[in-house]
Structures are given as C-alpha cells and as structure tokens.
Amino acid sequence: MKVLIIGGVAAGTKTAAKLKRADRSVDVTLIAKDKDISYASCGLPYYVGGIIEDKSGLIVNTPQKYAAMTGVNVVTGIEAFKLDSENKTVLAKDVDTGEVSSYTYDKLVIATGASPVVPPITGIDKAGVFKLRLPDDAVNMRDYLKNSNVKKAVVVGGGFIGLEAAENLQVQGVEVTVIDFASQIMPNVIDPEIAAFVQKHLQKQGIRIMTGVAGQEILGDSAVQGIKTTAGELSADLIVLSVGVRPNTAFLQDTGIEMFKGTILVNDKLQTSLNDVYSVGDCAMVTNRLTHARQWSPMGSSANLEGRLLGQILTNIDKEYPGVLGTGIVKLPNINCARTGLGEKQARDAGYDVETLMAVVEDKPNYYPDADAFITKLIADKKTHKILGLQVIGQGAVDKMADIAVTAISLGATLEQCECMDFCYAPPFSTAIHPFVQTVHIMLNKLNGYLTSITPAEYLAGKADGYRVIDASLKPSIRGALYVDLAKVNGPIEGLNKDDKLLLVCAKGKRAYFLQNRLKHFGYTNTLALEAGLTFSDVKVKTTAKLTPEEIKAVKALGFLQDKTTGDKFNGRVITRNGKITANESKVIAEAAEKFGSGEITMTTRLTVEIQGVPYENIEPLREYLMQNAGLETGGTGSKVRPVVSCKGTTCQYGLIDTFALSEEIHRRFYKGYRDVKLPHKFKIAVGGCPNNCVKPNLNDIGIIGQRIPQIDYAKCRGCKVCMAVNSCPIKTLQLVDGKINIDDKHCNHCGLCVNKCPFHCFDNASDGYRIYIGGRWGKRVKEGRALSKIFTSKEEVLSVVEKAILLFREQGITGERFSDTIDRIGFENVEAQLLANDLLARKQENLAAQKHLVGGATC
C-alpha cells in the first residue's frame, strides 16, 4: 500500500511514524512545504523570552533524522497545489524552482495545518511586524529585539499565543500592550468572568490589556513606530500579529471535498468525503466529544492524537476518534489558566440543564511554602450530575485540575463517582482532600441544596440587589457591611430578621457557607453565599459610614489622595509618563472625570493629571475605565520610585537632549520595573533638557540635566572687539582676556548657546552629555541637590547611575528619611564613589530580596 501524507509538524509526522511502526511494509511518503518538518510551534514564545535558549531546542526532528528513524520517505520544500482524487494523484511544485512533480497514492492524508490570519491592517510589511508560527518567526523576533533596542510592543490578539508572546516580551524588558477586537481576552476559550479576572491580574503585572479595540494601521516609515487603533494611537517598536489561524486548504477548493469555512470535514474514522482521503490536525474539522457537534480545535495535542490514531486506522485497526474537548492551558505572569469541556454558554446552547460553581480551594496546605489557591469554575448537568466543563486559574499546577476533569468527562463520570477519588496526597503536592474533589464536594452541596449560593457572574448581573451584605470574613473586610464573627454565632443574630435577604460574603466562600449552615439552623430562610467571595468579586456596600484609616491608606497606595474639604472623596493621580499624553488619552481622562469624579481635572507640579472629587466607591470603576479605554494607570504615591517628570527637551528652542525618550526609559525601567520595590521614602526623578531647569531637576532626589560642552579651538580666536560668542553667553562665563577667548569652567553651565556663534569657527564643535544632581528635595525642607563631578556622555551611563542611586537608598537608607538625609548621613563623597563604581549592581538581587522598609516614610 502506498500512502501519501501532505504536511508535517505534528499531525503529519505522527501519522507517518505510527503507520510505519504498525506496518513496515507500507510505502509512506511525506511531502512538506517547509524545510523543517517537525518543530515545537508551541515553544516559539518561550524562545522569544529566552527561556528556550537555542533554536535547536525548537526542532524536534530534522527531515534526515526523522526519515532514518521511521523509514518514511521525506521530501521538503514541496507544496501541493492540485488533488485529482479520481486518479489518486497529487501535483506539487518546488517552492524554490517552481518545478512540478506528481505523486500517486492508494491512501492520502491531508495534514497541511493552518497559517496565521493576517488582519486587514495597513502597513504590516514594515520592519518590526511579526507572526509566531514558524521557528524562523521566533528567531527573527528575538534578533530584532536585541538589535533594534525595542522598548514597547503591541500584541494584536489576546488568545493563548498572543498572551504568551506578551509575557515573554515582558521578560525581555519590553513594555507590552495587548489589544483584541473581542470584548474579552481568550474569547471562545474561557467564560467572560474568568477572562475579566485574568485581565485585571495581567494589568496588575504590568501588561496593558485593551479589549474591544481593533488595529487599523501600522505607523512608521520603513520600521514600526506605533499602531493606529480604534482607541487611538499606541506607540510601539514591535508588533506581534496573533489573531488566529486559517486552515491551509485553498488548493482543495475545486476538488469537491466537503469543507466548512476552510476546514476539512471528517468522520470518526478521520475520513473526508473523498474516497481514500483522510485529514488530521489543524486543517481538519472533527467533533466535540460531549455534544458530537462539529468542532475545530487547532491544538498540537489533538493533532498528535489524531495522527497516531489515523496511523492505526490506515492499517485496518478498528478504532474511532471520539472527538475533542478543547482542552488548553496557558502560562502567564504569576498565574496559569486551563480549561476543558464546555463553557457555560456552550453547555446551555447544547441543551443541558446547567449548574455552575465558582470555588476557591487551596492547592497545597496553607502552611506549606508557595501554597496558593485554585479558582475553579465547574460546569455540570443538574439532571445527570455529569461534569460538562472546567476552567481553572491559579499560580500552581492548574493542569492537574483540568486533566482530572478531562478524565471524568471522557469516561462520563458523575460528581458522585468523583466524590471519593483517592488522589495522591503529601503537603508539597496537594491537600489531604484533593482540590478537584473539594470542588466536586461544593458542587454537590449546591445541587443537593445544602449550599444556597450566587455565582460571581450572577452577582455582577444584579441578582443580589436588595440583599443586605453580611461580612463573614476572618476580620471585617467590607466597608459598610455588618460583620458577623462565625465563631460567636450560637443563635439568632441581633438586628437581623429571619426572613431578611442576606448575602453572605467572606474571602473565599468557605466561611460564608459555614455561616449559612448555622443561620439555616436558627431559622434564617433567605440567605445566599457568594461563591469565591472577595477573592473573585469586588463587593461594595453603599454606606455613609466614615472611612477608616486603613481604607484611606489602601486607596492612597493606588494614587488616590483624600480631599480634605470633603472627607469622603478623593483626587486620583493619573500617570501620564512625564506629562505627555495623546489626544485620545486626554479625551478618556476627561470622560472619566465626568463619569466618576467632579468633572474637574488639575495638574500637579509633577506633571501628573489629577481627577478631582472621586467618591470612594468610584475608585475601582474609574481605574478600570482608564485602563480599558486608554491603557492609563493611577498611582505615584508611597515610598517608591515616583513617576518621572521632564521638560519638553528638544522640542524647546533651548533643549539639548531628548528628555521624553530618556524619561520614558526611566519610567519603564524604574517606575514600572521597580514598582514593587519598597524604599525608605519616596524617590523623585526629573529630567531637564538644558540648564534652564524648568522642571527643577536639582530639587529632586536625582535630577538629570542636558549639557552641551563647547570644544573651543583657541587657535582660531581672533580676539574680536565684539565677540559673538561672549555676547551669547547668558551667565557671562565667556570673556576676552588679553585679546583671547577664555571660559570659566567652574561656573559654565554648558547651555550650549555659544556653539556656532563665532564667525571664525572657534565654537563649531561641542559634545553633548548629562549632569546628574543628587539629594535635592522640595516641600517642608527645601534643599538643592549637588552635582556629581563627572559629566556623563551616554544615556546608559545615566540609567546605570539612576539605578545605583535607587539601590543605594534602599540598602543604606533608614526607613523614613529622604535620599538627601541618607547622603548627609553617610557623606556625599562616599555616595558619589559608590555611584561611579559597580558594587551596588553586583549585589542588586540580594538587595531587592531583602525584607526592608515594609512601612515606608512617604505621607503622600
């Protein structure tokens, strides 16, 4: 028997290998368009991030190695372009020469996979625009990152690959924004409330997420400088296109093969509508294992399984492909997300009588190091108690939760059959009752009526409107709610009628259930427990109660300072990255001020925009609105590196350096990069483009001032009675002495105004640089900073000094003192010597890991 396989990678190579192992006599030929036939496409983002160090790690098998190992005849660089199913012939051409060749078969396997969808965005041919499908894509992207000094990237598409690309770009020190046209990230993969939780988490981790936003045009000349979107322009040095894939099946259009939206329809034997033609992998449309409806699942895992099964079917082994569950997992910064089976809407659309549960259970005993929790959405059928789907997020091994669910769903297990599953237990691995089994227990409690609860999605939809919130946490956690100490409930609660509508809320949902159990015993008939509690939902209670100092302090850390004239309203600081904002950002800030504040906006002396008069309950909605619509954050308070401020730099007639570029780099490295680093006090940075000092760099903890140092050619000086250079010097450090030009180096501020002023070319040359002042401050005790003795000539030198100053302050400062106090205490010369050496950088990790300054000294 002669079998021809079109396509390699996962499905094609797996089919061929299994077929040859099952029957060595079969003549198997595999033709592939790409030179690489077997590579780890799912590993490409991790090559970009440097986790996979060498490209060779991406190549599973070379054509030569694969052919020798399997006995398959492998031909690469050949693209099939015509199928004649009646004559069982495939025409293909050499991708380099165009030479046409003909291949005959007894059985044909189409495993041509899929290619990235190219969205209709103008300018995608510019340098710096990448897809992630082939090893060369990842190699080229990592090279571009290294060679083009990429600082900002925009990922178009919030699916698995797009989010993995975002994480790995961030690992490389790039500031990342993800945009997606859908209303949520990972659309059609996880349910909306799970997606919203993950999105908030990613934004806290520094990855900007904007949903409901479409890309329109790549900006820049020959290379990427930004992207125009429906939400305005986003600056970027690199663009990743990851909006999905499309089956590689165009060559089959006139063959009569049955297809749907480009996918090849196959039956449970993986046969197509054409005789002796089969299809597997990303180009094939299989079925859903639960509903038996058609489902496209372009995943490496299912491609391998389909290929292996088809290898057996082709040797007349009687097997059937049961379909897919759409199982998937993604690793993200400090959180993992997995899913399998049906989502809630899918299950309802399929006709199931659906019950859902959101549960928070520990992944290991809480006393064990690195213990965390699984937040799990379990979907089951009310009538049969069979598990239909599961979605889980957490820092730990979410794969084992999803994999157990895969097993249960595949075997048609009921919740009761999972109730006493005897899983492994030891503290490093699990809790005594496995987290999956705990989740099953909670679902059974809900189905059996022991737990009467409301899901986070139902809470957001208003199902608990009219209910009084009861705080069942270990300690009071919900402002304005009645706090009930579970341990003290031994009868009816004073002030609560037994027919009152009560919403019971705690941190994770467990104590709320325990309280509900007691209240039911004492005759309370109308209680709801909020599933997943405050871990998942932001519960607010309208109240006139006075804010506590803890509540005021908590929102101050988010950039909201109490308005002393009102007491219950706040002024929120919007981080504008050195005072420069786009027209769209300005529009969104204005809209936010109208929607959530008093409608007034002010500018602080640090060039930060403040939205005035924001009620306490509007703080989180305001923050979400700013991030979602413009990617803007609030903050800039606390004992940390503060947002950098700069003057207009080279856009000003006196500007000597590009202050915006430098200040954005400082913002990225030290405000963003050091956002979790606690310092003795606040640490302010300012960048001035020239010695005019418009933003007062020398009154900051560290200030950088652009310099232009004239290189005087004294031989060309003619001692003119009226010297143009002397007249141009605003502080009179240039003078004619004995008929020759003289410069007072001690007092020259290197403003550069004398450069090119001499008609005889004495001042034609100059070197640009940076002067750094340390230990300045304003406020109650104003102090001017002192300049380091060296004039720095490179931006990297300046950035290094800034980092060393922060590290020195953290390491040697005393909690509560300003940087100027630290300098005074240990001596300017000592500090300068440390800033010009590299010892501070050598012990950086030890310094940052130290538990220091946990209660900082900043009051605002």
| Domain locations along the chain | 2-114+247-313, 118-243, 334-448, 454-536, 549-630, 640-701+770-860, 714-763
Burial of 316 (C-beta count, 10 Å sphere; 0-12/13-18/19+): exposed
Rounded (10°) CA dihedral 271, 276, 280, 284: -60
Strands 107-110, 2-6: parallel, antiparallel or unpaired by DSSP?
A: parallel
- Does the pLDDT at position 31 exceed 90? yes
Percent of the chain with pLDDT over 70: 100
108 forms beta bridges with 4, 277
- Does the pLDDT at position 311 exceed 90? yes
Residue indicated by tokens 């760099």: 697
The mean pLDDT of 327-332, rounded to a whole number, is: 96
Q: Which CATH superfamily is domain 118-243 in?
A: FAD/NAD(P)-binding domain (3.50.50.60)
Beta-carbon count within 10 A of 597 CB: 22
Res 294: pLDDT: 96
pTM: 0.86
**Mean pLDDT of all residues belonging to the chain:** 94
Res 523: pLDDT: 96
Rounded Cα gap, residues 411 and 290, in angstroms:
11
DSSP state of 357: E
Burial of 662 (C-beta count, 10 Å sphere; 0-12/13-18/19+): buried
Res 506: pLDDT: 97
- Does the pLDDT at position 444 exceed 80? yes
Angle at CA of residue 79, ends 78 and 82, nearest 5°: 130
Angle at CA of residue 10, ends 4 and 13, nearest 5°: 35
Rounded Cα gap, residues 560 and 570, in angstroms:
6
Q: Which of 515, 462, 513, 470 is nearest to 490 (CA)?
A: 515
Map residue 136 onto helix, strand or coil: helix
- Does the pLDDT at position 445 exceed 90? yes
- Contact criterion met (CB below 8 Å) for 748 and 733: yes
- Does the pLDDT at position 100 exceed 80? yes
- Does the pLDDT at position 860 exceed 80? no
Map residue 744 onto helix, strand or coil: coil
Rounded Cα gap, residues 55 and 631, in angstroms:
34
User: Binning pLDDT at 50, 70 and 90, where does residue 35 land?
Assistant: confident
Please give the backbone phi and psi of residue 393, each rounded to the nearest 5 degrees, phi first: -130, 150
CATH class label, 640-701+770-860: alpha beta
How far CA 174 is from CA of 430, 672, 751, 786, 807, in Å, comes to 35, 11, 33, 33, 22
User: Binning pLDDT at 50, 70 and 90, where does residue 792 land?
Assistant: very high
How far CA 388 is from CA of 89, 285, 340, 414, 458, in Å, comes to 43, 21, 9, 10, 20
- Which architecture, in CATH terms, is 454-536? 3-Layer(aba) Sandwich (3.40)
Q: Which of 235, 25, 50, 59 is nearest to 135 (CA)?
A: 59
The mean pLDDT of 87-100, rounded to a whole number, is: 96
Which helix (H) or strand (E) segment is 561 a member of? Answer: strand 560-562
Q: Which of 254, 312, 288, 311 is nearest to 111 (CA)?
A: 311
Rounded Cα gap, residues 149 and 202, in angstroms:
24
* CATH code reported for the domain at 549-630: 3.30.70
Strands 740-743, 59-61: parallel, antiparallel or unpaired by DSSP?
A: unpaired
User: Which CATH number among 2.70.70.10, 1.10.150.120, 3.90.226.10, 3.50.50.60 corresponds to the domain 334-448?
Assistant: 3.50.50.60
- Please report, as a single letter, which amino acid is at residue 17: A
How far CA 761 is from CA of 613, 721, 766, in Å, comes to 59, 16, 12
The mean pLDDT of 670-678, rounded to a whole number, is: 91
- Does the pLDDT at position 805 exceed 90? yes
Q: Which fold has domain 714-763?
A: Alpha-Beta Plaits (3.30.70)
Please give the backbone phi and psi of residue 848, each rounded to the nearest 5 degrees, phi first: -70, -25
User: Binning pLDDT at 50, 70 and 90, where does residue 719 land?
Assistant: confident
Strands 129-130, 238-241: parallel, antiparallel or unpaired by DSSP?
A: parallel
Cα radius of gyration (the chain): 33
- Evaluate whether 549-630 and 714-763 have a shared fold: yes
* CATH code reported for the domain at 2-114+247-313: 3.50.50.60
Strands 387-394, 373-381: parallel, antiparallel or unpaired by DSSP?
A: antiparallel
Which is higher by pLDDT, 763 or 444? 444
